[in-house]
Amino acid sequence: MSSPSILARLVINDARVIRKALRATASLIDEAPVKISDEGLSIRALDLAEVSMIDLVLSKEAFETFDFKKPLKANIRLSDVLNLLKFEAKSERLEMSFTEDRVSFKVSNDFTRIFTIPVFFSEDKDLPLPKVSLGNSFETKVSTIKHLLDSGKHISDYVSISVENNAVVLSARGEISEYQVILKAEEGNLINPVLKEGSKASYDLKRLGSIVSSLLFGENMKLEFDTDLPMKITQIIEEVPNSTVTFFIAPRMEKG
């Protein structure tokens, strides 16, 4: 019996980058379309409710080897991979080999372990990105936003963000209580702000919480929004040039 033909073979010296990328994607969906092309490894997908979207790009420079016969898109069940792809050391090397119906993960360090899972290939066209012009942008610490979302989930299902007096106010408001985080440039938690006074929008707190918890590539995140428009969250993948993870989340339009 002949061995299956390898459609793509990727080798990365720090396997944790792949785990973080898949962990970020798993914040929205369990089955991810992983695309291998000249741009590198990318994932663009919607959550099941189509409220949020991920656009992740890991450039070819991330990989020691990045070989593929032709561009492919393989749907991978992330829970299967994340259960098996656990790393303790930084220096673990990961090799991914895509065949016609499987992808194998070979992790090498003190010893070598290999696991293989089924995949199916998709011919679906790439989703377009949201076409929105967002008037507010700033960077802040992931931990600051996470703090608000962790506390706010006990109060409300959604979080509001507004620009007031050159500060960004994030608040979770319930029927009888409210929790706020105020970000100000002078306090150092509002970095490179471009703000449009009076802007205001609301977003699903649970989804936002899940997204922010998955941002593991660095301490900071970039956040863009505008009145009643989607929020865009970007994190640069510091370990790899020209690589980012971006999320979009649709707004809630509060009535009355």
CB contact at 8 A, 212 and 145: yes
Q: How far is the CB of 48 from another protein (least distance, A)?
A: 4
Decide whether 70 or 131 has the Cβ nearer to another protein. 131
125 three-state secondary structure: coil
Q: Taking Cα atoms as reference points, which of 144, 247, 136 lies closest to residue 193?
A: 136
CB contact at 8 A, 35 and 70: no
DSSP code of residue 100: S
- HSE at residue 149, side-chain half, CA atoms within 13 A, is 19
Decide whether 128 or 198 has the Cβ nearer to another protein. 128
Q: How far is the CB of 225 from another protein (least distance, A)?
A: 13
Token duo for residue 183: 């970000």
Dihedral through CA 128, CA 133, CA 136, CA 142, nearest 10?
A: 0
Decide whether 48 or 176 has the Cβ nearer to another protein. 48
CB contact at 8 A, 213 and 27: yes
Positions that interact with another protein (CB under 8 A): 46-53, 127-132, 157, 202, 204, 206, 229-230, 248-255
Q: How far is the CB of 182 from another protein (least distance, A)?
A: 25
Decide whether 220 or 234 has the Cβ nearer to another protein. 234
CB contact at 8 A, 183 and 189: yes
Q: How far is the CB of 163 from another protein (least distance, A)?
A: 20
Decide whether 77 or 222 has the Cβ nearer to another protein. 77
Q: How far is the CB of 53 from another protein (least distance, A)?
A: 5
